[in-house]
Structure 1
Amino acid sequence: MAHDESIKISIIIVSYNVREFLEQALLSLQKSLKNISNEIYVVDNASSDGTVSFLKRRFRDVSFIENSENIGFARANNQALARVRGEYICLINPDTIVQENTFSVLLQFFQDHPDAGMLGCKILNADGSLQLACRRSVPTPWVAFTKVIGLARLFPKSRLFGQYNLTYLDPEQVAQVEAISGSFMFLKRAVLEAVGGLDEQFFMYGEDLDWCYRIRRAGYPIYYVPDTQIIHFKGESSKKSPFQQRRLFYEAMRLFVRKHFKKGRALIPSWFLLLAIHVSAGLAYVSEIVRRLVWPLVDVLVLTCSLAAAVYVRFRSEFPWQPFVLVHIVYTMIWIICLAAFGVYKQHRLSGSKAASGIVMGLLINSTFTFFFKQFAFSRAVVLLAGAMNLMLAPLWRFTLKWLARKGYGTLSAKLKNLLLRRRSLVVGDRETAGKIIEKMRSHVDGSYLIEGVVLLRADEAEDFVNDVPVLGMIDFLPEIIRRQRVQEVIFSTDKLPYDKMLNAVANSLGSQISFKMAPSDLDVIIGKATIDYIDDIPFVDLDYRLHSPFYQSLKRLFDIMLAILVLCVTIPIRLVIGACQRPEKVTIRLPLAEKSVVHTRIFSRASIRFWWFLPALPSIIKGDLSFVGRDMFYTPTQDQVGYSLQPGLTGLEHVNRGAGLTDEDRKRYHLYYLKNYSPFLDIEILVKTMLKRRF
């Protein structure tokens, strides 16, 4: 489209299933472009998260181009490039936040350097570190060779080997470079008209390098300008499986080499470079597979050692070890499947309670095998002994890693603290919105945030506490507060917080390995590097509860009966010993049901018998008056409360999370979560957590 002199800057964003990130990007763009005439195009590549319908109502000045399929980054950008009218054009990723002075600084740079054709700015990762791709060289055969075989990483300060990401240059100095990151590319319209758009042969990767290469060959210099900065939540705008991302990346590298480096134009032949690319891709795939398998392999080692030790203790040298191999494979597979079912190889890798729950479930299944399959019935004592060792060792090595991470030993300090432990968090914002964020974080049943304090925006808001959370200071002192409190995560409220202050806080925390996230004012999410945590994920109006289904009611009833009978048989000696010392006391449990208002059961005195008090109540579980897991048996909800339909239980989510005292609203939230998400696995997990926390 022809140039319109009334429009200074045209913005193009290609989006694919990053709705929440895109909203924040658009909000930051509005602030940065406040006094600059502009137009914004969003090209949506067939997102399935309702991006366009969600954002059209909020950003009426934005032009949306909707594609019926994912046509790739280059082709989608070209759709908008054919329509833009601005004197300057900016291609920017949807998972970025720009500083409020970004475009004014870059426009001034263009005026001061009329020869410049394209500009890139300083780009920060979510942890405050410099994103190396923001300034780099075109991968000539030599540059690509040093990158592929690892010389660039080994010698980053070398001019000979560090050319790919120009790591030998000062990141705070303006520099003329060969290429910049495709996440932010700011160029003159004249450059576009002279060079043309992106090469659509590149689907996702490589099109930015190709464009930069063609722009420089046309005689237009490219500058890296660190006088302004943006945050790029790298990886969100290209959400694909790691294997698919690697495949697309290496395919783009091969295409770039074939397109620009013909035979005989370099000291290193292109076939050798292509071979190096294939080798590097193969090593990357192997590395990814090993990374995924390392957790289950540790468990396989633990399970193998436990079963072998149990066999040796029971049979010594008399046991025929050859048939043991088949038994070992079957038993180990069952335990690994059960552990995987509890999510210990995904989001709960270091959860000792979930590991213990998986081991208990596997023990029940493997014990059943000894009764029904003769080839596995060589010794029930072996199964029980191995199960007991697994129950100790599987959580133990996870607790050990947690302890090492908390102590900060080795490389565990960063990754395990941020990803696998309960995160020590700060909330940054004004008093009102920070209070709302804290309430939502506390209401998150599966939350993993430990709120250490609040950092306010202005001194005149200073108070001692916000929602019982201490105020630790003002945002100007955020880096010092982070160091003093040893926090792992900082959550910014973007409602009244200037983006400049947020970006400066991130930049000033470089090297601290802190995870920075945003909480939009009108969304129930927390946005961070490659993650979106939904902190208001319980829809109270949804009455389609899983535990109201007859199938799940029968499943829960069967689970209660089988477990009660098992515990009754195993604890006969314990009940006899305790029964000789004291008599069970009768208790009455009130029910809100009209046809049966009360039930009676017996328990040992909880004051004198801390753990085994519930044993006399097991017959009531078999009868169906009680359940192992349910609502608090001594709490009676009213008929209009969620827990009204929930059976009284010996334990439940209330017991596991009762640390700070529970309000009726807290109970309602836990009851609702249990009704919606019930499964036997959830019951086992709650029982294991209850025992580990000594809440029986």
Structure 2
Amino acid sequence: MVKSTYPDVILIENGENLGFSKANNQAIKRAKGDYVLILNPDTVVQEDTFKTLIKFLDEHPEAAAASCKVLNADGTLQLACRRSTPTPLVVLPKILGLSALFPKSKLFAKYNLTYLDEDEVSEVDAVSGSFVMVRKSAIEEIGLFDEDFFMYGEDLDWFFRMRKAGYKIYYVPSTKIIHYKGESSRAAGYDAIGMFYKAQIQFVRKHFSKSRSVFAVMFLYFAIVARGLFSYAVKTGVALAPLIIDTFLMQLSLLLAVRIRFGSFNEVSAYFLIDGIYTVVWLFSFFLVGIYKKRRFSATYAAWGVILGFFVNTTFTFFFKQFAYSREVLIWLLLLNIIILPAWRIGIRLARKTGMVPFLGTLGKTMILKRTAIVGSAEEAKRITQKVLDRIEYGYSIEGFIDKKSPDSVLDSPTYLGNVTDIAEIVSARKITDIIFSTESYSYEEVLDIIDKVKHNKMNFKIVPKQMDFIIGKASVESIEDLSFIDIEFNIDKLYNRVIKRSLDLMISSLLLILLLPFAIISFLLFGRSIRGVDLLLQDNQVRRVYLLSKTDKIQSGILSRYPLLLHVLTGKMSIVGCELLLNPLDLKNIHYKPGLTSLAEIMSQGNRDEDEYEKYEQYYLRNQSLQLDLEIIIKALFNL
């Protein structure tokens, strides 16, 4: 891409990852200008940034390097963009947590200099290596990056040598960039924590082992190791926390279930062995539905994990009568777990949304759509909207667009939400979670200014570069070009997925036939519903007469109207999740695609899509069908009832 799009750019291609220092040194040696720019690939730069820093360095000959305000993906200041050299007096408050408790204290907050005004020019010990402009003559004097540092620490070492040679380093906040911190190292697949603290030890050994006392050096070693172990412990704890919480709450559910069943806790000891089996089965069910991978805080998947585990536990007690102490206790466990285990996840998500738990990671992609606004002109908004709707896997729900002025005419789609000057109020009122910026209409400077205004709303920001069909976000670059469906492998045709899907159909249809029977009878006797026959095209392309519990001959969305169809699911002629009812899938007859009680096209369209868009949803489902996707479609269908 670089060679074809930018033929004048010198591209250095290495056969392996040489590390940050060695790779940048290759480029620095070939650079011929007065200044050298070190820039990470996971950044977005304002249009005036280069000119601003060149002008600043021209006016400050004593400066060897300068950097600008560096923002996180959510618009907050990235603390690493201005730092002090990690001496014992700087590190100790950081280790003890005093810098976080007293961020405005000159004594305790030296590590990240949080006591400085983020909008004022400051002389600092070090800036962020993700973006720094350096005077070429200073590099020739103090040398290149130290290649003993593979990743992390090389910038701190460089700046330390610059200051030791008498140069100054400046933080210049009059311009800014976005740095999607961690994406470069994450993409490379390295142990970022281990490499970071190893680099800190290298720095201390290189610069302080001879100039500082043995006690000071040993203290720094101890502090770095302790901090590294703490970071690993936090990372491991966060990864294991959902499993530990689930296990604890399952034991609490057992106590409550026994108390409800027997009126006391005296019988709890009899359940110790079976409780261990139940707990392991439920935890394993959670692993199967992906709870402990990308969906740790998904209440939906937690509920389905509970249901799946319940069926396995019920089967276990059926075949092993010696463990069937009380099926009533198992029923109570189901009811309690299906409330408690999703509930704590909902609480965490609400707390995260309000900023109360900022340490939690992303919750993973989900087909529950993200409420999205486009910032750009009417024409660009319409173009991006169409492209985004073509790529449904990204899960955007376009609520409308925001611009500097209202459109000249009313658009069918998307809706004009208001003026960009009112963006903070608009995103709050509309509960917008994602904003997509069009740089065809807005400069990077304007984009970053807008992000600055709404950074407290805990949002995700995406950028569509000028004349390009890509959305640049925190963890990925998403192509929104039109799809081609030629020679695509269908997930739904894989044997493993077919077995899992059929098992899910059997479990859910059996359960619903039993649970909904009283309601179906009441609906038939008291609410005027009757058994009506309709002609439905089944998977074998044969038209069959099926029956609905309905007031009309049309297929309605309610579960009770489709209750008789559960018999067809049970016998294998239909599926819980399949293609649209009465849709003629002649071109898909060899890929085992049954009509379903619900479908991806039905829940996503909400009655407003045309046939082309129906086809896109159907094609997406064929390619990506999985247990997780089926469960999420079912939950989404329940919300749409």
Which category of TM-score, normalised to the shorter sequence, fits these structures? 0.7 to 0.9
Q: Name the structure 1 match of 2:233.
A: 286
1:620 is the counterpart of 2:565: no
Q: CA deviation at 1:606?
A: 5.3
Paired residue type of 2:560:
W
Q: Name the structure 2 match of 1:584.
A: 531
Paired residue type of 2:576:
F
Q: Name the structure 1 match of 2:38.
A: 91
Aligned equivalents of 1:532 and 1:683: distance in 2? 26
Aligned equivalents of 1:244 and 1:270: distance in 2? 25
Q: Name the structure 1 match of 2:89.
A: 142
Q: Name the structure 1 match of 2:98.
A: 151
Aligned equivalents of 2:357 and 2:411: distance in 1? 33
Q: Trace 1:222-371 onto structure 2 (pairs within 5 A).
A: 222-239=169-186, 244-262=191-209, 265=212, 269-317=216-264, 320-371=267-318
Over 3 Å counting, the alpha-carbon distance change for 1:686 and 1:491 in structure 2 is: closer
Paired residue type of 2:488:
L
Deviations 1:401-449 (A, max 9, x none): 556667x4x6269979998986443211232222122223334445544
- In the alignment, structure 1 segments of 5+ residues that lack a partner are 1-53
Deviations 1:102-154 (A, max 9, x none): 22222222322222222222222222222222222222232223333323222
Paired residue type of 1:492:
F
1:384 is the counterpart of 2:331: yes
Paired residue type of 2:579:
R
Q: Name the structure 2 match of 1:499.
A: 444
Q: Name the structure 2 match of 1:637.
A: 584
User: Which residue of the other structure, out of 326, 333, 342, is the alignment partner of 1:395?
Assistant: 342
Q: Name the structure 1 match of 2:21.
A: 74
Q: Trace 1:654-665 onto structure 2 (pairs within 5 A).
A: 654-665=601-612
Aligned equivalents of 1:508 and 1:676: distance in 2? 40
Residue range with higher mean Cα deviation, 363-372 or 137-146: 137-146
Paired residue type of 1:369:
F
RMSD (CA atoms): 3.5
SS in structure 2 of the partner of residue 111 of structure 1: helix
Deviations 1:210-266 (A, max 9, x none): 001111112222222223222222222221699921111111111111111125625
1:649 is the counterpart of 2:596: yes
Conserved 8 A contact 1:641-1:668: no
Q: Name the structure 2 match of 1:470.
A: 416
Q: CA deviation at 1:75?
A: 1.3
Q: CA deviation at 1:574?
A: 5.7
Deviations 1:14-49 (A, max 9, x none): xxxxxxxxxxxxxxxxxxxxxxxxxxxxxxxxxxxx
Conserved 8 A contact 1:656-1:693: no
1:693 is the counterpart of 2:639: yes
Aligned equivalents of 2:125 and 2:174: distance in 1? 19
1:544 is the counterpart of 2:489: yes
Conserved 8 A contact 1:643-1:668: no
Conserved 8 A contact 1:441-1:449: yes
SS in structure 1 of the partner of residue 85 of structure 2: coil
Residue range with higher mean Cα deviation, 126-135 or 355-364: 126-135
Conserved 8 A contact 2:381-2:414: no
Aligned equivalents of 1:403 and 1:145: distance in 2? 34
Over 3 Å counting, the alpha-carbon distance change for 1:388 and 1:257 in structure 2 is: same
Q: CA deviation at 1:187?
A: 1.6
Q: Name the structure 2 match of 1:171.
A: 118
Aligned equivalents of 1:629 and 1:537: distance in 2? 26
Aligned equivalents of 2:83 and 2:170: distance in 1? 11
Q: Name the structure 2 match of 1:212.
A: 159
Conserved 8 A contact 2:398-2:414: no
Q: Number of matched residues? A: 634
Provide TM-score, normalisation by structure 2: 0.88
Q: What is the percentage of aligned positions where both structures have the same residue?
A: 37
Conserved 8 A contact 2:370-2:395: yes
Aligned equivalents of 2:396 and 2:270: distance in 1? 48
Paired residue type of 1:303:
M
Aligned equivalents of 2:35 and 2:578: distance in 1? 62
Paired residue type of 1:584:
I
Aligned equivalents of 1:684 and 1:511: distance in 2? 33
Over 3 Å counting, the alpha-carbon distance change for 1:174 and 1:553 in structure 2 is: closer
Q: Name the structure 2 match of 1:55.
A: 2
Residue range with higher mean Cα deviation, 576-585 or 266-275: 576-585
Q: CA deviation at 1:83?
A: 1.9
Q: Name the structure 2 match of 1:185.
A: 132
Over 3 Å counting, the alpha-carbon distance change for 1:640 and 1:480 in structure 2 is: same
Residue range with higher mean Cα deviation, 170-179 or 355-364: 170-179
SS in structure 2 of the partner of residue 654 of structure 1: helix
Aligned equivalents of 2:387 and 2:501: distance in 1? 31
Aligned equivalents of 1:512 and 1:567: distance in 2? 41
SS in structure 2 of the partner of residue 57 of structure 1: helix
Q: Name the structure 2 match of 1:128.
A: 75
Aligned equivalents of 1:194 and 1:557: distance in 2? 71
Provide TM-score, normalisation by structure 1: 0.81
SS in structure 1 of the partner of residue 106 of structure 2: coil
Q: Name the structure 2 match of 1:560.
A: 505
Conserved 8 A contact 2:71-2:77: yes
User: Which residue of the other structure, out of 47, 52, 56, is the alignment partner of 1:109?
Assistant: 56
